[in-house]
């Protein structure tokens, strides 16, 4: 069963458009949405949550149309906003009292456990919260109604490494049950490398790929070698090249093919998501 199915999603803003975005997230897995700023990650998430209207295409949550069954499907979703900017004058207890009546499955005991787990103060006004506390508070508020699908836009951006790890560990704990799923966007690619089962790479409103993390790292690799190995033909075997005084570094999405082209004198390294984003996003040369 797929928790999320997106097919042929289109949205035209004039200067930016989502172009036939399609991907699926099977139940029981974590999907990371990566892409540079302005790639369309937030727009996709907002369309899933029906906060932005799509123009074409279909979104299904738990097998049901996300608009036709909006109330039913949203009960099962925990949604964490980019920045918890609302009701800054309230403290967490007061904000909880505002939020909880919207959910018929609200579970006070779960909320208390999460507040305790994250060491959150209930009586401090939210404007005095650090960014990390704010994010943890948002997660606690989003997770106290027995949601089995967690959707988050940039949950780890702006957090220090210690809190980021704590949040990622919470995701892992949440995923101990196989009927749950997570979709989160991030440009902190290492966070996605750490917890995602599936990676969907969005760039310029299009899906570059959507596949398992293992597939991504088995296919993509960095090729490094002397500049003498680079010519017009070999260059075309690479998705992007950075050539320096002492050698070049390039990205391939088919390591076996690259080996056939560059042979044993080149070095083949594991590519990180950051490498993949960098080399696939290279603009044509000479900026200055």
Residues at the site binding other proteins, with contacts judged by CB under 8 A: 28-29, 172-173, 175-178, 194-197, 212-214, 218, 270
Task: In whole angstroms, give the CA distance from residue 108 to residue 180.
Answer: 20
DSSP states of 93-124 as a string?
A: HHHHHHHGGG-TT--HHHHHHHHHHTT--SSS
Min CB(194)–other proteins separation in Å: 6
Min CB(177)–other proteins separation in Å: 8
Min CB(251)–other proteins separation in Å: 17
Min CB(135)–other proteins separation in Å: 20
Min CB(130)–other proteins separation in Å: 25
Task: In whole angstroms, give the CA distance from residue 130 to residue 85.
Answer: 12
Name the pairing type of β-strands 77-80 and 2-12. unpaired
Min CB(9)–other proteins separation in Å: 25
Host H or E run for residue 51 = none
**28 versus 240: smaller Cβ distance to other proteins:** 28
**39 versus 216: smaller Cβ distance to other proteins:** 216
**56 versus 173: smaller Cβ distance to other proteins:** 173
**28 versus 121: smaller Cβ distance to other proteins:** 28
Task: In whole angstroms, give the CA distance from residue 156 to residue 66.
Answer: 26
Tokens of 272: 């990180």
Tokens of 150: 């967690």
**72 versus 267: smaller Cβ distance to other proteins:** 267
Min CB(222)–other proteins separation in Å: 13
Min CB(171)–other proteins separation in Å: 9
CA angle 73-74-77, nearest 5°?
Answer: 100
Count CB neighbours of 212 within 10 A.
14
Report whether 122 contacts 92 (CB < 8 A): yes
**42 versus 210: smaller Cβ distance to other proteins:** 210
**126 versus 139: smaller Cβ distance to other proteins:** 139
Tokens of 62: 């738990």
Task: In whole angstroms, give the CA distance from residue 39 to residue 37.
Answer: 6
Task: In whole angstroms, give the CA distance from residue 209 to residue 277.
Answer: 12
Task: In whole angstroms, give the CA distance from residue 44 to residue 49.
Answer: 9
**67 versus 172: smaller Cβ distance to other proteins:** 172
Count CB neighbours of 198 within 10 A.
23
């Amino acid at each position: 069963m797929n928790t999320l199915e997106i097919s042929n999603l289109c949205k035209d803003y004039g200067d930016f458009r989502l172009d036939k975005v399609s991907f699926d997230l099977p139940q029981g897995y974590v999907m990371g949405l990566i892409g540079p700023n302005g790639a369309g990650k937030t727009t996709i998430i907002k369309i899933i949550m029906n906060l932005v209207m799509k123009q074409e295409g279909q979104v299904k949550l738990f097998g049901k149309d996300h608009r036709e069954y909006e109330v039913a499907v949203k009960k099962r979703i925990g949604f964490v906003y980019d920045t918890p900017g609302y009701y800054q004058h309230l403290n967490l207890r007061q904000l909880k009292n505002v939020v909880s009546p919207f959910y018929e499955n609200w579970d006070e005991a779960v909320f208390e456990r999460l507040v305790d787990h994250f060491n959150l103060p209930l009586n401090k006004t939210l404007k005095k919260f650090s960014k990390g506390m704010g994010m943890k508070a948002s997660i606690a508020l989003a997770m106290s109604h027995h949601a089995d699908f967690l959707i988050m836009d940039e949950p780890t951006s702006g957090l220090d490494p210690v809190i980021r790890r704590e949040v990622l560990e919470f995701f892992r704990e949440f995923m101990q049950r196989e009927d749950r799923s997570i979709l989160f966007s991030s440009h902190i690619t290492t966070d996605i490398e750490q917890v995602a089962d599936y990676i969907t790479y969005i760039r310029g409103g299009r899906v570059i790929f959507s596949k398992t993390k293992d597939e991504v790292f088995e296919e993509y690799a960095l090729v490094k070698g002397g500049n003498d190995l680079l010519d017009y033909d070999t260059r075309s075997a690479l998705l992007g090249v950075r050539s320096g005084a002492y050698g070049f570094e390039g990205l391939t999405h088919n390591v076996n093919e690259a080996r056939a082209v560059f042979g044993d004198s080149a070095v083949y390294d594991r590519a990180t998501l950051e490498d993949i984003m960098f080399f696939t996003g290279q603009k044509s040369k000479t900026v200055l």
